[in-house]
Structure 1
């Protein structure tokens, strides 16, 4: 023990009191995995029903939880949202059928527009549209599995006909998110068709990911290990991928095709190229010639926003 420190504790009662308080503080344990799973599985969507304005924060929470729980949880959660959309659709169609059989009544119109399933359909559709930006291909697969586009088209057609027939100018809250959802699905569908064509045409090529060096004005290949890591994440439809190169952490964002240094926040464009496998041939003297490199560009992003000349040189990759 330090005699000077002991003398200070004896002469300073405040220090003794603070030390006793620190010893008496309870140990706060972290949340168990079961508690977090219970919250994500059953409470998140209930909060969204009570507070629809939290949909944007809820989207961030879902994306964070997806990174924590993995792909299986992501698909399960998307299926829950899709099933809620389908249930709301069936209930609203049933209401429309009942209202059309009765006389045109303003009270019935208000009951239809203010029905609880309109709010559920609005929040679920908007949430899934936001998730489309983060995970487009998984969302599109779930939408196709549950025939959501077909349901939306039927519901929009039936609702507009009913409201026009009743001369009602007020529209349901879910109408705008439904159009956004259909538009996003169409874009992803077109992108998937183009990707399938490219993968078919270049199936015998090597997939090479590159990052752009603004100073040298050239594209550089990632190391083989990181190249496979990036390509696997891209093929699985993940929105981003974390890699480590020379003890520096980077985040690869596929929606913007940018690489971000987690320490300096420096951003660099990335792209996927296809290089034809080289075939080794032997010269007459027995030597092996060096074949010229050949690569074809798949997609590229705009130049980096973080293009300062005073960036540290240690941000350069090999």
Structure 2
């Protein structure tokens, strides 16, 4: 009897080889909590970081009976540190311990009560070392943004340009409201005010009611949008009459004056808006760095959801641990 040997076709052989290569290329080790590019966060290092955090009585109480959750928080923080360090290396950004201390001292001075500041941080799950690391990352972010040209919007010229373009949004309108019985009276009131805006108080006094302002009030453009679709179209010394109240009476809306804050007055607002834009651009850059690092997390510690948050992994698949290793969670001694 002839024995038939079943041979794999070339395509099947190739598929098997590729599969074997893929398996052999997987980064697997039960002693590793996460791989971040070429860097390794060991389970030992993670446990040590968790122990250090739980030495803080406030944090220990906060995460009482939730050690696994705290471990996930700590691991995500360690991964974030590696991502920032990689981004810093790519852009040549460096931050010294003295830089961190100086910036932290500024923050503490602004808080007015360093002890209360750190107590609040602990209540939110952060140690003093965690705070220092956040400050370090913040400074790194500033340097990376500068090196990558992401902070151009913070320059004086850029802020001035934004001010010039958005000046109308910051206008303050001095608005008077005089509510009268009919359109004819409203036309007369509007004519009087247009002829002499300084007589507003006298004119308004002749029509006292709950919908008449005895004196003009200062309001923003946003506040005016409920009665004027386009406040930018308003002109000082002019007004209009509309039926704005449910009684059917006519209200004369009169603009006695318009003022604009100076550039320096609203510079803090402009800087805040520009800083938010820079942070958004920096987040995109950091995400690009993060994506390039092929981050692999030991599933016993969780997986990343769509928002980039490390969450518990309740799947049965273990793609980082060796198959023979137990799935039990490491226990802190």
Give the TM-score band, short-chain normalised. under 0.3
TM-score with structure 2 length normalisation? 0.21
- Greater Cα radius of gyration, structure 1 or 2: 2
- Return the structure number with greater relative CO, CA threshold 8 A, min gap 6: 2
